Structure 1
Amino acid sequence: MGFSQGLSGLNASSQALDVVGNNIANSQTVGFKSGSVAFADVFAGSQVGMGVQVAGVNQNFSDGVLGAGSSALDMGIQGNGFFRMVTEAGRVFYSRNGQFQTDENGYVVNNQGMRLTGYMATGTPPAIQQGAPVGEIQIPTGQMPARASDAGSISGNLDSGNDVVSVTPFDPADGDSYTYSTQVNAYDSLGNEHAINVYYVKTADNQWTAYSVDSTSPGTQGSVNLTFDTSGKLTTNPADLPVSGAAYQGGAALNFNLDLSNLSQQASENTMDSPSTTGYPPGLMNGYTVGDNGQIIASYSNGESQLLGQVVLSNFTNPGGLQSAGNNCWTETPESGQPVIGIADTGNLGSLRGNMLEASNVDLSKEMVNMIVYQRNYQSNSQTIKTQSELLQTLVNLG
């Protein structure tokens, strides 16, 4: 019996040293979770005991320290959750390793070619639609299409001290027929830029008329009468200035309103804050970033940014029940329970940090101590076998 006890101790210590060695070997593996051996005694009807056995190897899913990543698609998780990935064959894996890049087809993949999953943005402008299916995240490589201007606004001040314009009718070519002018840029359906000139004509005290002229593709002039009270506050509601013009270089004619409701009239110079319109020209992708909520946002040469998709996380009732699959991945088992899928920082899911990576949670100093302890344990068990051997030899000599 002593031999079996010693052998079981040697075997258990050897397996424990294997776990320690694996932990130390993966101390620099991104997202690695350290393991620890659980021992159990063996009696099998004997009150003395038959030795020891390895009951299992438990994984420590505590967080590793976040450090700076080296790729725009690097991500790190803090708290509960795993990245959800699928192979081309459709098999699902889970990982804490956030080292991702794109493949030749634009899919976001890990180093083993597994595709990261999440929600893809759809619509104009792109957004994550409620109830969208979880699928493989693919980053488009084409240019961002142009968007026609469909709204705009101007804010500023009109000088109440200006003289009433006496030259009529209004003529944009005659500077004496208007008081002040400013320019707004807009874009048609093909991204052609249009210069919209806005002219202000003082017709009486506290009375103005605003005109719009598309100088790029002249068409119908739009106008709106503006009335201010004695405090300089605009009372016209709505103060919408129509903008229209002819079609230009294949693009559709502009047709939208400029909101002038933020204009005021005070005894100070004519000034207009930066006017704005919706719309933009086409643009080529400059790059992309991952936000702390898992949103992948692309930036383009036209100065615009666009949501491409959002990474999802998965969590389990019992993460310790996951089956290690190598390559720093796990697979679902009946013991782990069904995955709960959602966006970072919702429910019991942890947070996600873009351009960060989670380091291994291996504590090297602790592992070195464990290695010494298991080594001593191995030596002690070998000494048990040696002692049993000496006892048998003594019995043989008595015979």
Structure 2
Amino acid sequence: MGFQQGLSGLNASSKSLDVIGNNIANASTVGFKGSRAEFADIYAATFANSGTLAGIGARLDSVAQQFGQGNISTTSNPLDLAITGNGFYRVVDPNGSVSYSRNGQFQLDRNGYIVNGNQRLTGWPVDARSGLLNKGGVPQPLQLTVGNVGASATGASGLANAGLAMITNLDGSKPVIDRTAPPTGVGPLNVQDPSTYSDATTASVYDAQGVRHSLTFYFTKTAPNQWEVQTSFDGANPTPAMGTGTPPAQAYLYFDGNGKLDTTSNPTTNAAGFNFTTTLAAPNGATSPFTFPVSFAKSTQFGSAFGATYTQDGYADGTLTGISVDKSGIIVGSYSNSQTKVIGQVVLANFANSQGLQPLGDNRWGETFASGAANVGDPGSSNLGGLQSSALEDSNVDLTGELVNLITAQRNYQANAKTISAQDTILQTLVNLG
């Protein structure tokens, strides 16, 4: 009698219900990947009679996880990360055991590590000396420094455009001011007397301790297309801005007939005709003097009102106020002094055979021989997906489909029970014949 087929069918349906139930239970689990029960038939046959025997049932061949993409939900936590595409987060526990996850619910622990539970997210740290990402080798647990970013003096960034860049429009309709003594002219510049200069503007600069100072520029039209530049540091008496050369010459801005800077026929400033270097004494005990270049490279002289904007590369000390992660996994810290700083990069891992990974629970998988070795790289590179910050990947379980599968598995279970009941009825009939 064929009780074995019915029993194997009951076992198979029961396993199918287990898998479906697990999928339904994790329909709201972040980063969960649903599974599918895969079955195989069973035959007990020899070569001679393999074509004449019925099968003896079914067996569970494997429970295969399906690593399809889940929906993305946005959150308000910048350390919530969602992978869009292939890849897994590489995480380590405090003992150094490596596992892989799609659950991006990360936060900072008290030591500054980016963690999910007790699992630390790994990536490329920043070299403390160079400030550059230290790529290569084995990814390290990412630890964010939440202390102050420090201060930097104006002109100390080492960049090509270091220092102060002043962009002005000097009103070409202003009258020429005669610097000779009264009654012929107005005499030397007097900040209390606006008739002794044409226009003025103030910029903020920072010394090596991050203390802010004011640097006021006084512009005086001393001849057609020629403007004298004098500066006042922290309200001190104005002094002529000095250009380059030996000895340094007083700085003037020269313009051509079209209102553009004249960079070729300027006899008193440097070769470019619109840069000078200022040397200032810091009164508060900071490194003194501090020196930085000042550029007027984009200044004009048009017949419109005076206007001035500026940029400079110095800044005061600042504390960490926010964190952002871009699609390539680079973590950027924002500080209270308006500075930003790269503080690490998340890496992702992928496998030749993701279904060969071993489920470890807690939304994590372990590497196995069947999965192949992990290929680690930057998000968005090679066959790795990108990252989305302030977002999470939902479970990829289709709840509607699972409920339909549940009905089907239930019917299969009932049908297999019916085969056993029918076999029992037949057997009872045979016994009664005896």
Same fold per superposition (TM over 0.5): yes
Structure 1: how far apart are the matches of 2:215 and 2:128? 28
Query: Is 1:108 aligned with 2:114?
Result: yes
Tell me if structure 1 keeps the 8 A contact 2:35–2:64: yes
Structure 1: how far apart are the matches of 2:262 and 2:191? 30
Over 3 Å counting, the alpha-carbon distance change for 1:220 and 1:307 in structure 2 is farther
Q: Which moved more, 1:63-72 or 1:206-215?
A: 206-215
Structure 2: how far apart are the matches of 1:331 and 1:159? 71
Q: What amino acid is aligned across from residue 299 of structure 2 in structure 1?
A: L
Tell me if structure 2 keeps the 8 A contact 1:74–1:354: yes
Query: Is 1:355 aligned with 2:367?
Result: no
Tell me if structure 1 keeps the 8 A contact 2:199–2:306: yes
Structure 2: how far apart are the matches of 1:130 and 1:153? 34
Structure 1: how far apart are the matches of 2:150 and 2:137? 23
Q: Which moved more, 1:225-234 or 1:320-329?
A: 225-234
The aligned counterpart of 2:151 is 146
Q: What amino acid is aligned across from residue 266 of structure 1 in structure 2?
A: F
Structure 1: how far apart are the matches of 2:237 and 2:217? 13
Alignment of 1:65-144 (within 5 A): 65-110=71-116, 112-122=117-127, 126-129=131-134, 131=136, 134-144=139-149
The aligned counterpart of 2:216 is 197
Q: 1:213 deviation in Å?
A: 3.5
Structure 2: how far apart are the matches of 1:217 and 1:31? 63
What secondary structure, in the 3-state scheme, does the structure 1 residue paired with 2:214 have?
Answer: strand
- Post-superposition Cα deviations, 1:54-86, rounded to whole Å, max 9, x if no partner, equal 110111111111112242311111211111111
Structure 2: how far apart are the matches of 1:17 and 1:108? 37
Alignment of 1:98-247 (within 5 A): 98-110=104-116, 112-122=117-127, 126-129=131-134, 131=136, 134-150=139-155, 151-167=163-179, 171=189, 173=191, 175=193, 177-215=196-234, 222-223=241-242, 224-236=251-263, 237-247=272-282
The aligned counterpart of 2:347 is 312
Q: What amino acid is aligned across from residue 227 of structure 1 in structure 2?
A: Y
Please report the TM-score for the alignment, with normalisation by the length of structure 1: 0.92
Over 3 Å counting, the alpha-carbon distance change for 1:119 and 1:232 in structure 2 is same
Structure 2: how far apart are the matches of 1:101 and 1:394? 69
Alignment of 1:218-367 (within 5 A): 222-223=241-242, 224-236=251-263, 237-253=272-288, 254-272=290-308, 274-367=309-402
- Post-superposition Cα deviations, 1:88-125, rounded to whole Å, max 9, x if no partner, equal 11111111111111111010000x31001112234688
Tell me if structure 2 keeps the 8 A contact 1:228–1:265: yes
Structure 2: any 5+ residue segments left out of the alignment? 47-52, 156-162, 181-186, 243-250, 264-271
Query: Is 1:12 aligned with 2:47?
Result: no
Structure 2: how far apart are the matches of 1:60 and 1:238? 67
Which of 51, 58, 65 lines up with 2:57 in the alignment? 51
The aligned counterpart of 1:394 is 429
Q: 1:227 deviation in Å?
A: 1.8
The aligned counterpart of 2:159 is none
Identity %: 42
What secondary structure, in the 3-state scheme, does the structure 1 residue paired with 2:15 have?
Answer: helix
The aligned counterpart of 1:2 is 2
Tell me if structure 2 keeps the 8 A contact 1:69–1:75: no
Tell me if structure 2 keeps the 8 A contact 1:325–1:331: yes
The aligned counterpart of 2:49 is none
Q: 1:314 deviation in Å?
A: 1.3
Structure 2: how far apart are the matches of 1:215 and 1:172? 16
- Post-superposition Cα deviations, 1:217-255, rounded to whole Å, max 9, x if no partner, equal 889863223221111110231521212211332322321
Structure 1: how far apart are the matches of 2:258 and 2:362? 71
Q: 1:129 deviation in Å?
A: 4.9
Structure 2: how far apart are the matches of 1:205 and 1:132? 64
What secondary structure, in the 3-state scheme, does the structure 1 residue paired with 2:77 have?
Answer: coil
Structure 2: how far apart are the matches of 1:335 and 1:172? 83
Q: 1:13 deviation in Å?
A: 1.0
Tell me if structure 2 keeps the 8 A contact 1:214–1:244: no
Q: Which moved more, 1:236-245 or 1:61-70?
A: 236-245
Structure 2: how far apart are the matches of 1:125 and 1:268? 46
Q: What amino acid is aligned across from residue 101 of structure 1 in structure 2?
A: Q
Bigger fraction of residues in strand: 1
How many pairs does the alignment contain?
397
Q: What amino acid is aligned across from residue 18 of structure 1 in structure 2?
A: D
